[in-house]
Amino acid sequence: MSNARRPRWARPIYVAIGSLLILLLGAGAGLAKRASQPMKIMARSHIQILQKQANGRFVQVDEVRGATSQVEASLLQLASGGIIDTALTLQAKTKKGRAYTAKLARPATVRFNPATGQLDADVLLEVSLDGRSATVVSKSTTESRRSPKGTLRGRRARGLLGTGPMTVNLVASNRFKPAGQPEMLLIVKEEYTLTPRGGQAREATPRGAQALEPAPRGTVKPKQSPLRKR
């Protein structure tokens, strides 16, 4: 047997595959079927908009509630490092009536560990508020993030072993700086509901939230593993 060290790019792949195998061996064929089944992923977002003041502190000046979106993927795709590739555009009105839009500037990379329920996503967005735009780098997580609003805490995936919908909560604190405008922060809290295709998902829009235009569906393309190259 060769003692050659594994290349660095291979380590995340071994971790994801190893975690998934442990989970599948422990739960049996029923979970294996669930892991490969296409899932509807419904997202509900709450975005707090903070603006930097002259004293350097960030103060909330507006917010977006009831923002929703939807994509499709299987747990196997997410565990292998899925890439969300969609023309999805979020359009909403803020509490103060300002136009807010956000769309993917490039495919988003998702990392999901089915053994622990931890999920992380790297996203590059084009965000516009009242017609003033800027690129936003977002790193969402089920773990924790520091922010002027205190420590944001996500929640790892629940319901993985059941037959009903799975839920997961992500948080992010994103810098937003349109040209000629004060620096802002977007404090994002998202709840995702993953429902097997053909199942019934929970209503993603909370009671009293703004009505939004239906968002187009997206798809998730599995990232090609370097292990398959010869």
> Rounded CA gap, 208 and 65, in Å?
9
Strand pairing category for 108-113 and 118-129:
antiparallel
What pTM does this model have? Answer: 0.70
Establish if 118 belongs to a structural domain. yes
Establish if 37 belongs to a structural domain. yes
CB atoms within 10 A of CB 25: 10
Q: Which amino acid is located at 141 in the chain? A: T
Establish if 4 belongs to a structural domain. no
pLDDT reading at 60 higher than 50: yes
Q: Is the distance from CB of 133 to CB of 100 less than 8 angstroms?
A: no
Name the residue among 62, 2, 47 with its Cα closest to residue 190: 47
Establish if 82 belongs to a structural domain. yes
Establish if 230 belongs to a structural domain. no
> Rounded CA gap, 68 and 204, in Å?
7
pLDDT reading at 46 higher than 90: yes
| Residue-level pLDDT at 66 | 83
Establish if 3 belongs to a structural domain. no
Establish if 1 belongs to a structural domain. no
Residue 174: pLDDT band (50, 70, 90) is very high
Domain count, the chain: 1
Q: Is the distance from CB of 47 to CB of 62 less than 8 angstroms?
A: no
- Give me the domain span that covers residue 120: 10-224
Establish if 141 belongs to a structural domain. yes
